[in-house]
Structure 1
Amino acid sequence: MPMETLRFDSRSVDDTEEFLSTAYTPMRIGGPVEDARVRISRHAVERLSVDRLSFGYDMAFDAHGLPGVCLISMHSGTLVDRTGGREQVYGPGDTFLLAPPGTPYRGEVRSARYTIAMFDPALLSGLDPSGTGAPVRLTGTRPLTPAAGRALGSAVAHLRDHVLGDASRPPTGLLVSTAAQHLAAMTLAALPHSARTDPVRADRTDATPATLRRALAWIDAHADRDVTLADIARAACVTPRALQYAFRRHLGTTPLAHLRHVRLQAAHRDLLAADPATATVTDIAMRWGFAHPGHFAAHYRTAFRTTPHTTLRRTDHPAG
Structure 2
Amino acid sequence: MDTLRFDSTSLEATEEFMSRAYAPMRIGGRPQGTRTRVERTATERISVDRLALDYTMAYDAGVLNRVTLLSVHSGTVVDTTGGRHEVYGPGDSFLITRPDRPYTGAVHAARYTVAMFDPALLTEVAATGARGRGPIELTGHRAIDPAANRRLGATMAFLRDHVLTAPDAGELVVATAVRHLAAVTLACLPNTAMAEDGHRLDSRDAGTDTLRRAMAFIEENAHRDIGLAEIAAAAFVTPRAAQYAFSRHAGTTPLGYLRRVRLDRARAELEAADPRTASVSATAMRWGFAHQGRFAAAYRRAHGIPPSASLRRSGV
TM-score, length-normalised on structure 2? 0.95
1:234 is displaced (CA, Å) by: 1.2
1:233 is displaced (CA, Å) by: 0.7
Contact 2:210 2:242 in 1 (8 A): yes
1:200 is displaced (CA, Å) by: 4.8
Q: Could you tell me which amino acid in structure 2 is paired with residue 27 of structure 1?
A: M
Cα distance in 2 for residues equivalent to 1:252 and 1:80: 45
Cα distance in 2 for residues equivalent to 1:203 and 1:109: 49
Closer, same or farther in 2 for the Cα pair 1:201/1:57, shift >3 Å?
closer
Q: Could you tell me which amino acid in structure 1 is paired with residue 142 of structure 2?
A: R
C-alpha offsets along residues 100-130 of structure 1, whole Å, 9 cap, x if unaligned? 1121011110111011111111111112312
Stretch moving more, 154-163 or 182-191: 154-163
Match for residue 121 of structure 1? 119
C-alpha offsets along residues 8-27 of structure 1, whole Å, 9 cap, x if unaligned? 01111111111100111111
What is the root-mean-square deviation of aligned Cα atoms in Å? 1.4
Which of 192, 195, 199 is the aligned partner of 1:194?
A: 192
Match for residue 93 of structure 1? 91
Closer, same or farther in 2 for the Cα pair 1:100/1:170, shift >3 Å?
farther
Match for residue 104 of structure 1? 102
Q: Residues 249-288 of structure 1: matches in 2 within 5 Å? A: 249-288=248-287
Cα distance in 1 for residues equivalent to 2:30 and 2:224: 51
Cα distance in 2 for residues equivalent to 1:310 and 1:203: 46
Contact 1:11 1:38 in 2 (8 A): yes
Contact 2:11 2:30 in 1 (8 A): no
C-alpha offsets along residues 174-210 of structure 1, whole Å, 9 cap, x if unaligned? 1121011101100111111122210354343321122
Q: Residues 1-320 of structure 1: matches in 2 within 5 Å? A: 3-128=1-126, 129-132=128-131, 134-166=134-166, 169=167, 171-196=169-194, 197-314=196-313, 317-319=314-316
Cα distance in 2 for residues equivalent to 1:281 and 1:318: 14
Cα distance in 2 for residues equivalent to 1:245 and 1:39: 47
Cα distance in 1 for residues equivalent to 2:204 and 2:31: 62
1:171 is displaced (CA, Å) by: 2.7
Cα distance in 1 for residues equivalent to 2:30 and 2:202: 57
Cα distance in 2 for residues equivalent to 1:46 and 1:188: 21
Closer, same or farther in 2 for the Cα pair 1:170/1:18, shift >3 Å?
farther
Structure 2, unmatched stretches of 5+, are none
Contact 2:124 2:229 in 1 (8 A): yes
Contact 1:203 1:239 in 2 (8 A): no
Cα distance in 1 for residues equivalent to 2:181 and 2:238: 21
C-alpha offsets along residues 134-179 of structure 1, whole Å, 9 cap, x if unaligned? 111111111111111111112111110111114xx25322112101
1:34 is displaced (CA, Å) by: 2.2
Cα distance in 2 for residues equivalent to 1:94 and 1:225: 34
Cα distance in 2 for residues equivalent to 1:100 and 1:170: 33
Contact 2:70 2:96 in 1 (8 A): yes
Contact 1:64 1:102 in 2 (8 A): no
Cα distance in 1 for residues equivalent to 2:131 and 2:64: 25
C-alpha offsets along residues 61-86 of structure 1, whole Å, 9 cap, x if unaligned? 11001121111111111111111101
1:32 is displaced (CA, Å) by: 4.5
Q: Could you tell me which amino acid in structure 1 is paired with residue 86 of structure 2?
A: Q
Stretch moving more, 245-254 or 127-136: 127-136
Closer, same or farther in 2 for the Cα pair 1:290/1:203, shift >3 Å?
farther
Stretch moving more, 193-202 or 296-305: 193-202
Contact 1:127 1:229 in 2 (8 A): yes
Closer, same or farther in 2 for the Cα pair 1:312/1:231, shift >3 Å?
same
Contact 2:270 2:310 in 1 (8 A): yes
